[in-house]
Amino acid sequence: MMNFFKMLFLGILMTSTLITISALSWFTAWMGLEMNLLAIIPLMKTSQNKLSAEAAIKYFIVQAMASAILLFSITLISLTNNTSFELSSVTSSLIDSTLILKMGAAPLHFWLPEVVSGLDWNLVFIILTWQKIAPMILLSYCMNPHFLLSCSIILSSFISGILGINQTCMRKLMAFSSINHMGWMLSTLFSSLNLWFYYFSIYALTNFNILVLFHKIHLFYMNQLSKITLNNKLLKFFFMFNFLSLGGLPPFLGFLPKWLTINFLVNSNFLTLSIILVLFTLVTLFFYVRLTFSSFTLNSEESMTSSLTSNFKSWQALTNLYVLMGLPLFFFMANIY
Domain tally, the chain: 1
Query: Which segment of 50-54, 180-184, 196-200, 222-226 scores lowest on mean pLDDT?
Result: 222-226
Q: For residue 83, what are the contacts with CB-CB under 8 A and spacing of at least 6?
A: 25, 26, 27, 77
Over residues 157-184, mean pLDDT: 91
Render pLDDT for 55-91 as a digit per residue (tens, 0 to 9).
999 999 999 999 999 999 888 887 775 555 555 677 7
Does residue 247 surpass a pLDDT of 60? yes
pLDDT interval class at 301 (50, 70, 90): low
Over residues 207-212, mean pLDDT: 89
Rg (CA), the chain: 20
DSSP SS3 for 221: strand
- pLDDT of 296 reads 65
- pLDDT of 219 reads 86
Over residues 120-132, mean pLDDT: 93
- pLDDT of 241 reads 82
pLDDT interval class at 313 (50, 70, 90): low
Over residues 184-198, mean pLDDT: 90
More confident residue, 195 or 229: 195
Q: How far apart are CA 288 and CA 220, in angstroms?
A: 16
- pLDDT of 304 reads 52
99, 130, 206, 109: CA torsion to nearest 10: 30
- pLDDT of 2 reads 59
Does residue 140 surpass a pLDDT of 60? yes
- pLDDT of 222 reads 84
Classify burial at 121, counting beta carbons within 10 Å of its beta carbon; exposed 0-12, middle 13-18, buried 19 or more: buried
Which domain range does residue 21 map to? 2-336
Render pLDDT for 214-232 as a digit per residue (tens, 0 to 9).
888 888 888 887 766 555 6
- pLDDT of 215 reads 87
pTM check: above 0.85:
yes
- pLDDT of 87 reads 58
Q: For residue 6, what are the contacts with CB-CB under 8 A and spacing of at least 6?
A: 43
Over residues 234-260, mean pLDDT: 84
Q: How far apart are CA 248 and CA 93, in angstroms?
A: 31
- pLDDT of 178 reads 94
- pLDDT of 297 reads 64
Query: Which segment of 74-88, 196-210, 254-268, 299-313 scores lowest on mean pLDDT?
Result: 299-313
Render pLDDT for 261-273 as a digit per residue (tens, 0 to 9).
999 999 988 899 9
Q: How far apart are CA 262 and CA 184, in angstroms?
A: 9
232 φ, ψ (degrees, to nearest 5)? -135, 90
Does residue 320 surpass a pLDDT of 70? no
Does residue 176 surpass a pLDDT of 50? yes
Query: Which segment of 37-51, 99-113, 123-137 scores lowest on mean pLDDT?
Result: 37-51
Over residues 280-285, mean pLDDT: 90
pLDDT interval class at 307 (50, 70, 90): very low
- pLDDT of 172 reads 93
- pLDDT of 201 reads 92
- pLDDT of 127 reads 95
- pLDDT of 294 reads 67
Does residue 321 surpass a pLDDT of 90? no
